[in-house]
Amino acid sequence: MISSSSDNVTKLNSINRRMFITSSLKFFIMVGIVSRLFFLQVKENKKYLTLSDKNRIREWKLAPVRGEFRDYFGNVIAGNFEAYQLHVIPEQVEDFRYVIYRLKDLLELSDRQFNKILKKKKENKPWETLIVSDNLSWEKFSKINNHLYDLNGVKPVISISRNYPYKEDFTHVIGYVSQANEVDIENTSIIKKNFVPGLKVGKIGLEKTFEEKLIGSNDIERYEVNAYGRRISQLEFQKGERGKTLKLTIDTKVQQLANELLKDQAGSICVMDIYTGSIIAMHSSPSFDPNLFVFGISQDEWQMIRNNPMKPLLNKTLQGNYSPGSTIKPIVALSALENGIINPNFTVRCTGKTEMYDQTYHCWKKEGHGYMNLRNAMKQSCDTYFYEIARKLGVDKLSETAKKFGLGKKVFGNLFEIEKDGLIPNTQWKKNALGKGWLLGETMITGIGQGYIQTTPIQLCLMTAQIANGGYKIYPNLVINENNSKKLDKFIPLYKNSKNIRIIQDAMFSSTNEVMGTSYRSRIDNIKYQFAGKTGTAQVKKITEKDRELDLKTFQIPYEERDHALYVAFGPYKQPRYALSILVEHGGNGSTTAAPMAKKLFKLVIDRHELRQSIKNKRYMDI
């Protein structure tokens, strides 16, 4: 009995201990749960509320509204329009295969387009936005919105895209935009900051130069979404800042005429205000439609542009290095006058060729011009005369004058990264670059714009403008109210004696307006439009004796072997205001190809002068 009682007491104690332990465990577990709940709900309240909101609230950054480009008269030459886009975020899609095939049916995508999207999806990371289409029609955009209940992870987006209403007229000035790539994002902080899928950024031209001013900042939308990630309601809209609108000095009407005049030809036309340096027109031909690049150019279209033998991708105005031919003669004559080598009455007898150290230097006129003074030599573009004054002058003095007038260096500084310096050679240059001494014969051919000398069309325009304004330095500009816009600086004359500038102006007048002048057929008798100029014909290959004997017409020579045609001019002659340069690649000669274009250009430019001045006066009054 005693033993049985003892066993019961032991069992009871054991049960009590177990109950105590169990109760203690329950108590501590309860305390732990309560503590954890207290920690989560009180101490970590803000953290988990934020995480909850992140699941409930979604934020979308919209593409910034890019600033516009306008011409001098306020016409939009690079603007924006609403583009309807369709984005898919793969990590938010439950069944990507179903969704993508559903989109193919709804959007009526071709197999090629569909495969392109699949390829892009493989290249992207799961959390990166996949752009299914960046330029949907309103009908298809509406159709997608009506089927969103069945398209988890699909996001219709109204974005802002670029539009170039004048198509190829401004391509080489403004440039174009296209989708930002990794290089753009990494190299430009403002692009990185404002990046959204499908963001368009400047690739060339002023679009690229002024990216920071043009890009603007993002609009931000915040939406409440349900468990499936679909929008329920908009909670907040934060308006971004629109990019700055830039106004150019260019007149669209003159720019369009330049395009028409160079139609089906390769070349360049520049028109400049000789006092302010404002660019009225600057066209490179052939051009291309920049709208093709906004949403990604097709391979076929790209190959057509890239393989065009006339090189539309090359900005000939800024990148084209050409022998200036006889358009350099006003500078050669000015340099000789300025350095006291000749006077206006200095005379040379032209027989059609000059012999020097067993070399023959031909004049363009086989039978020669006879006795020539400076004015007549400029009028008839006598090569023999300029061989002789270049020989007496020397290449170093010529080089110094040419550089003063804007040749051999970039006209726009850092405005265009593609702009070339050209080349105005001298004795030191040849020694440094080629390790050889300068030859007298090289000086002579430099005097007629051949040999090593290379200039860009915009440099020739600047040279002419500074001759026309009386020999004062100007600073060419394209963008109004930017710090690269300076006016004529009357305190920096480029001459030693102003009389010499007037002699050159008069000689150029004779070249265009007097019988036997090389551009006489392109003259305008009306004093309102009368202009002075100088033709140029630049050889692209050495002329052999056989070529001289054959004396072929331009149309009989293979296109790529034809000379380049050039013309520089200023007008109206009595009260100069505008200068221009024209270059037609393989155009034959300046008198028949380039000079006639100047006649049409001056009529339009001078007719629009008063309108331009009224805009200028209004701007001053507003200030």
DSSP letters for 419-488: ----B---HHHHHHHHS----HHHHHHHTTT-TT-BB-HHHHHHHHHHHHTTSB----BSBTTSTT----
Predicted local confidence at residue 544, as pLDDT: 64
| Helical spans, DSSP H, in 217-351 | 252-261, 291-294, 299-306, 316-319, 329-338
The total of other beta-carbon atoms located within 10 Å of residue 309's CB is 8
φ and ψ of 569, to 5 deg = -160, 165
Question: For residue 612, what are the CA distances in angstroms to 35, 211, 259, 278, 280?
Answer: 80, 28, 20, 12, 10
Helix (H, G, I), strand (E, B) or coil at 3: helix
Residue 455 shares a structural domain with residue 602: yes
pLDDT at 320 over 80: yes
Nearest by Cα to 221 from 53, 59, 64: 59
Residue 228 shares a structural domain with residue 256: no
Residue 232 shares a structural domain with residue 258: no
Residue type, 112: R
Percentage of residues of the chain with pLDDT beyond 90: 59
Q: From CA 19, how far away is CA 558, in angstroms rounded?
A: 111
Residue 239 shares a structural domain with residue 282: no
Asked whether 399 and 424 are in contact (CB, 8 A), the reply is: yes
pLDDT at 247 over 80: yes
Residues in the chain: 623
Helix (H, G, I), strand (E, B) or coil at 90: helix
Mean pLDDT of 199-227: 86
Question: Using one digit for the tens of pLDDT, what is the confidence trace for 458-472?
Answer: 999 999 999 999 999
Question: Using one digit for the tens of pLDDT, what is the confidence trace for 17-59?
Answer: 777 777 777 777 877 777 766 665 665 565 555 545 555 666 7
Q: From CA 73, how far away is CA 248, in angstroms rounded?
A: 9
In a domain, 3, yes or no: no
Q: How confident is the model at residue 134 (pLDDT cuts 50, 70, 90)?
A: confident
Predicted local confidence at residue 389, as pLDDT: 97
Predicted local confidence at residue 397, as pLDDT: 98
Q: How far is the first Cα of the chain from the last one, in angstroms, to the nearest whole number?
A: 120
Q: At what angle do helices 329-338 and 383-393 cross, to 10 degrees?
A: 40
DSSP annotation of 575? S
Residue 263 shares a structural domain with residue 204: no
Mean pLDDT of 522-546: 87
Question: Using one digit for the tens of pLDDT, what is the confidence trace for 344-365?
Answer: 999 999 999 998 888 899 999 9
Asked whether 590 and 537 are in contact (CB, 8 A), the reply is: yes
Predicted local confidence at residue 623, as pLDDT: 46
For residue 335, the domain's CATH number is 3.40.710.10
Beta bridge partners of 159: 83
Residue 211 shares a structural domain with residue 271: no
Beta bridge partners of 270: 282, 581
pLDDT at 232 over 70: no
Predicted local confidence at residue 62, as pLDDT: 77
In a domain, 397, yes or no: yes
Q: How confident is the model at residue 601 (pLDDT cuts 50, 70, 90)?
A: very high
In a domain, 149, yes or no: yes
Question: Using one digit for the tens of pLDDT, what is the confidence trace for 477-526?
Answer: 999 975 544 555 556 899 999 999 999 999 999 999 999 999 999 999 99
Residue 484 shares a structural domain with residue 348: yes
- E strands, 168-245, in order: 177-179, 200-202, 219-225, 231-238
The answer for 194, left when phi > 0, alpha when psi is -120 to 50, beta otherwise, is: alpha
Q: Domain count for the chain, please give it.
A: 2
Mean pLDDT of 544-564: 68
Helix (H, G, I), strand (E, B) or coil at 129: coil
Question: Using one digit for the tens of pLDDT, what is the confidence trace for 382-399?
Answer: 999 999 999 999 999 999
- For 247, the enclosing helix (H) or strand (E) is strand 246-247
In a domain, 21, yes or no: no
Q: How confident is the model at residue 619 (pLDDT cuts 50, 70, 90)?
A: low
Predicted local confidence at residue 114, as pLDDT: 78
- The token duo for 580 is 């221009």
Question: Is residue 286 reached through a cis peptide bond, with omega within 30 degrees of 0 on the bond before it?
Answer: yes
Asked whether 552 and 513 are in contact (CB, 8 A), the reply is: no
Question: For residue 576, what are the CA distances in angstroms to 248, 273, 274, 398, 569?
Answer: 22, 9, 8, 26, 10
Residue 205 shares a structural domain with residue 265: no
- E strands, 291-429, in order: 348-350, 353-356, 359-362, 370-372
Least confident span in 205-209, 226-230, 273-277: 226-230
In a domain, 434, yes or no: yes
Predicted local confidence at residue 51, as pLDDT: 47
In a domain, 42, yes or no: no
The listed range with the strongest mean pLDDT (58-67, 151-160, 377-386) is 377-386
Q: From CA 581, how far away is CA 507, in angstroms rounded?
A: 17
Q: From CA 177, how far away is CA 280, in angstroms rounded?
A: 24
- The token duo for 42 is 């009180």
- For 14, the enclosing helix (H) or strand (E) is helix 2-38
pLDDT at 187 over 90: no
Residue 263 shares a structural domain with residue 337: yes
Mean pLDDT of 293-309: 91
Handedness of CA 382, 455, 249, 598 (dihedral sign): positive
pLDDT at 160 over 90: no
Residue 503: CB partners within 8 Å, gap ≥ 6? 333, 337, 344, 374, 375
Predicted local confidence at residue 5, as pLDDT: 61
For residue 138, the domain's CATH number is 3.90.1310.10
Least confident span in 36-45, 193-202, 429-438: 36-45
Predicted local confidence at residue 558, as pLDDT: 73
φ and ψ of 10, to 5 deg = -65, -45
Q: From CA 416, how far away is CA 279, in angstroms rounded?
A: 14
The structure tokens 């990794």 sit at 182
- The token duo for 180 is 């930002």
- Mean pLDDT, all residues of the chain: 87
Mean pLDDT of 306-322: 96
Asked whether 85 and 133 are in contact (CB, 8 A), the reply is: yes
In a domain, 493, yes or no: yes
Which is higher by pLDDT, 297 or 113?
Answer: 297
- The token duo for 223 is 């939406």
Mean pLDDT of 543-571: 75
Handedness of CA 447, 451, 455, 460 (dihedral sign): positive
Of 230, 247, 264, which one is at a domain's C-terminal end? 247
Mean pLDDT of 416-425: 96
Residue 268 shares a structural domain with residue 233: no
Helix (H, G, I), strand (E, B) or coil at 608: coil
- The token duo for 412 is 């726009």
Residue 72 structural domain: 58-247
Residue 243 shares a structural domain with residue 266: no
Residue 479 shares a structural domain with residue 419: yes
pLDDT at 549 over 70: no
What are the DSSP calls for 57-109, one per residue? EEEEEEPPPPPPEE-TTS-EEEEEEEEEEEEE-GGG-S-HHHHHHHHHHHHT-
Question: Using one digit for the tens of pLDDT, what is the confidence trace for 166-186?
Answer: 999 999 999 999 988 888 888
Question: For residue 401, what are the CA distances in angstroms to 441, 467, 487?
Answer: 20, 12, 22
Asked whether 510 and 555 are in contact (CB, 8 A), the reply is: no
Q: For the whole model, what pTM was predicted?
A: 0.84
Residue 514, judged by CB atoms within 10 A of its CB (0-12, 13-18, 19+), counts as middle
In a domain, 31, yes or no: no
